[in-house]
A = this chain, B = another copy of it.
């Protein structure tokens, strides 16, 4: 990860992360919205898969699929929107210097979120969670906030990057 490298250099030469102007006049940026939405994708894929196992599909099952797919569609869209806002509004030159691969990472999230719309395969969802975690890690790095990884306290209980605020 290029920003891990930057992070090390950052620690050595005491480079100050630039953030002040980026928060004015804008919203409160937090990647947790995108992370929650990515986790929802995986969760909904799991619920869709449960129906796959059924022998005899009825109208109630098709109805349930329609509901879950619609929710998965919304969750994938929310990932895209939440990442677009942070990439488009918060990331400016100083942040791009700290995270040189950010354009690529943001675009990869768009592509992966589309795959999560087009598929019901859990692996696509897990890949989305991982990309959004990477995005969160980069974001918190530009804010000078450390992170840790731990399983989220609800299904699908995947590893999530959280800011280390407890001190």
Contact = CB atoms under 8 A, between A and B. Distances in A.
A67 B117 contact: yes
The quantity of this chain's copies bound in the complex is 6
A107 B119 contact: no
Interface string A143-167: 1010010101111000000111111
Contacts of A48: 59, 63
Given A110-B84, A165-B162, A25 B47 contact: yes
Counting chain A residues whose Cβ lies within 8 A of the other chain, the interface size class is 35 or more
Contacts of A103: 103-104, 107
Interface stretch (A7-15, A68-76, A130-138): A68-76
A36 to B, nearest CB: 6
The residue among A23, A29, A69, A143 with the most chain B CB atoms within 10 A of its own CB is: A69
A70 B80 contact: no
Given A65-B66, A88-B111, A114-B88, A29 B154 contact: yes
Contacts of A66: 62, 65-66, 69-70
A62 B65 contact: yes
Given A60-B120, A145-B153, A167-B150, A39 B28 contact: yes
7 closest residue pairs by CB, A with B: A88-B110, A103-B103, A66-B69, A66-B66, A52-B59, A63-B69, A62-B65
